[in-house]
Amino acid sequence: MTAFGQPPAWESPSSDPNDTTFGDVVEPTTLESTAEDGDFPDGEATAAYDAVLVGEPYDRAVIGRQGASEGPQAIRTALAGVKTHHFDRGSVDRRIADIGDIAIPERGVVTVQSELERAIMPLYEHGSRPIFLGGDNSLTVPNVGAAIEALPGSVGVISLDAHLDCREPVDGPSSGTPYYQLHERGLDAFAVVGARHFETSSAYAAFVDEQGGTIVTADAVGRDFDAAVARALDAVSEVDHVLCSLDMDVLDATAAPGVSAPTPGGLTTRELYALLGRLGAEDRLVGFEVVECAPPLEDGSMTSDAAARAIAHLLSGWSR
């Protein structure tokens, strides 16, 4: 059975006592402690935390360049130094926990997806809202699949990504197949925000259309931000639960060079952060993932810094 490793200690790198950072806020905990009073055999669980960080150091299914297995630690390091004050929303005062990294088996992708889904499912059963630190995009399958299995009602996904990731897994699952797999599982609604012209095949655009999904291009976000957000939220308006997936390659290559497939023409960090603040305010949002942050693929920490602040912006708007 896949298990969680030792949760890491968090501390602020700042010596200024007035600087409250996420390093001061995040608490190490265990899976069992994410529910208020342990097991709830006769009723609904009450979450002990507003958000629970989960590391998924895995990139063996990536189609492009590897490196995302080092994403969880790099994002944690960057987030520990991010201050908690948002000028419009005030200080992020959420109760945030970290249960450490999942020990991912050295097995095939199908087995990894299956075992991770079983390991993750108790988080949703406890009423927790996980923030997954990936890892490649193949992990979207267990992250969303666990919600489909554990939560009553319908589930939809808003994917912030340059690509559609709906290839048929002819030769097995990969970072390019998650939304084909999830539609086979009965995913109820799907929207992609930030998709790039000339970065996908017509067949995959047609697949999304056939499934009743919505594609909001990066150009559309730049032309009319409010209309783009409205289209994404309208695409999932009929479902009971929403998950948001952030593939760091949704950002322009100048803002996120440390990804498997960096390309020009993407979202700006300002657009991404404004978008996440809006999505975080959605009271049906039950989970968030950051995937394809690959520190070895860049000099410096620009991409992990952007990923950490993406989490902060989401949390600043996250309703409870």
Phi–psi pair at 157, nearest 5 degrees: -130, 135
For the entire predicted model, the pTM comes to 0.95
Q: Which two tokens stand for residue 2?
A: 């896949």
How many residues appear in the chain? 320
CATH superfamily of 22-317: Ureohydrolase domain (3.40.800.10)
Residue 74 CA to residue 59 CA, distance in Å, equals 15
* 104-158 per-position pLDDT tens digit: 988 999 999 999 999 999 999 999 999 999 999 999 999 999 999 999 999 999 9
Q: How far apart are the first and last CA of the chain?
A: 32
Q: Which two tokens stand for residue 200?
A: 């996908």
Residue 233 CA to residue 283 CA, distance in Å, equals 12
Helix (H) or strand (E) holding 287: strand 285-291
For the chain, give every domain's residue range.
22-317
Among residues 152, 13, 35, 147, which one has the least CA distance to residue 80? 13
Q: Are strands 155-160 and 189-195 parallel, antiparallel or unpaired?
A: parallel
* 24-68 per-position pLDDT tens digit: 999 999 998 988 654 444 445 568 899 999 999 999 999 989 999
DSSP 237-267: TT-SEEEEEEEGGGB-TTT--SSSS--SS-B
Average pLDDT over residues 213-226: 98
Q: At what angle do helices 302-317 and 269-280 cross, to 10 degrees?
A: 30
